[in-house]
């Protein structure tokens, strides 16, 4: 009997240690699960970052069967395409021309005019690659012009991984913003920005207008007011007014 009591005394601390370890493991498991559910960042810019990738800009010149060359509207499209290429392209221009079919002759006439418009707008000849393709017999043939460009995008939107109503989700108890919040704004901003690199870094400074800077510095050196004055008014502040109300 005494031996049994002494053995129980020896095993009691061991059982307490095991129980404490089990309880700690259970609490750690609950905390890790809770942290996993509430692990996404609060800032919508981190949940839905705007990223840059290489996309494409394409313009199609639709062809007929009884007309040679381009229409005035198509010439304007090709001219705008060449101007955009000089501003935003990251590679050369790919021109895909239908190889056969009823519009094949019209395509060759239009292609010559496209080449002349591109050359007149400083697009180098080695920057244009012409490739033929087999057009579909059920669709109107067209000349497709494509070049690569940087594209900003965010999303996809519309994901709802967490409940918005009362639940055991820690994101509701902690009053955190829901996952989809801010995604549409980020996506709209990415689609509206003119130069995607402006979202990453500022543009380089352009050269100053030396003539105006020299006048301003000369006035500053003489102790005069360096601001510009407009003719007809000594102060220069009333020229833009279209009403005498308040005088």
Q: Tell me, what's the pLDDT at 226?
A: 83
CATH architecture of the region 51-153: 2-Layer Sandwich (3.30)
Assign 14 a pLDDT band (cuts: 50, 70, 90): low
- The pLDDT tens digits for 115-148 are 999 999 999 999 999 999 988 888 888 999 999 9
Contact 127, 24 (CB under 8 A): no
Cβ of 128: how many Cβ atoms within 10 Å?
Answer: 18
With b for 16 or more beta-carbon neighbours within 10 A and e for fewer, the 8-19 pattern comes to: eeeeeeeeeeee
Cβ of 110: how many Cβ atoms within 10 Å?
Answer: 25
Place of tokens 């010149």: 61
The Cα–Cα gap between 85 and 94 comes to 12
Structure tokens belonging to residue 89: 């392209």
- The pLDDT tens digits for 166-175 are 877 777 777 7
The region of weakest confidence among 17-26, 40-49, 102-111, 209-218 is 17-26
HSE-CB for 173 with a 13 A CA cutoff: 7
Pick the closest to residue 143 from 59, 19, 230 (CA basis).
59
pTM of structure: 0.63
Assign 36 a pLDDT band (cuts: 50, 70, 90): very low
HSE-CB for 226 with a 13 A CA cutoff: 12
Q: Tell me, what's the pLDDT at 246?
A: 62
Residue 231 is inside which H or E element, if any?
none
Average pLDDT over residues 74-92: 94
What is the phi-psi region of residue 233: left when phi exceeds 0, alpha when psi lies from -120 to 50, beta otherwise? beta
Residue 114 DSSP SS3: helix
Beta-carbon contacts of 46 under 8 Å, excluding residues fewer than 6 positions away, are none
Contact 54, 70 (CB under 8 A): no
What is the phi-psi region of residue 13: left when phi exceeds 0, alpha when psi lies from -120 to 50, beta otherwise? alpha
Beta-carbon contacts of 225 under 8 Å, excluding residues fewer than 6 positions away, are 219
Q: Tell me, what's the pLDDT at 2?
A: 47
Place of tokens 């100053």: 208
Pick the closest to residue 92 from 150, 151, 146, 152 (CA basis).
146
């Amino acid at each position: 009997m005494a031996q049994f009591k002494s053995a129980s005394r020896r095993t009691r601390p061991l059982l307490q240690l095991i129980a404490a370890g089990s309880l700690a493991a259970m609490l750690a498991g609950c905390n890790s699960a809770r942290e996993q559910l509430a692990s996404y960042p609060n800032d919508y810019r981190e949940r839905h970052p705007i990223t840059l990738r290489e996309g494409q800009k394409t313009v199609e010149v639709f062809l007929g069967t009884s007309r040679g060359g381009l229409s005035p509207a198509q010439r304007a499209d090709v001219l705008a395409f060449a101007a955009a290429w000089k501003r935003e392209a990251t590679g050369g221009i790919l021109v895909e021309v239908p190889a056969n079919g009823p519009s094949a002759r019209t395509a060759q006439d239009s292609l010559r005019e496209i080449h002349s418009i591109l050359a007149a707008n400083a697009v180098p000849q080695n920057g244009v690659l012409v490739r033929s393709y087999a057009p579909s017999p059920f669709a109107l043939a067209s000349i497709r012009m494509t070049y690569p460009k940087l594209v900003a995008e965010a999303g996809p939107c519309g994901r709802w991984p967490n409940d918005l109503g009362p639940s055991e989700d820690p994101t509701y108890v902690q009053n955190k913003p829901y996952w989809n919040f801010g995604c549409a704004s980020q996506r709209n901003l990415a689609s509206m920005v003119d130069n995607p690199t402006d979202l990453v870094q500022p543009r380089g400074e352009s050269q100053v207008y030396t003539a105006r800077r020299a006048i301003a510095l000369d006035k500053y050196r003489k102790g005069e007011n360096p601001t510009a004055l407009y003719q007809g008014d000594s102060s220069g502040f009333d020229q833009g007014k279209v009403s005498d109300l308040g005088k």
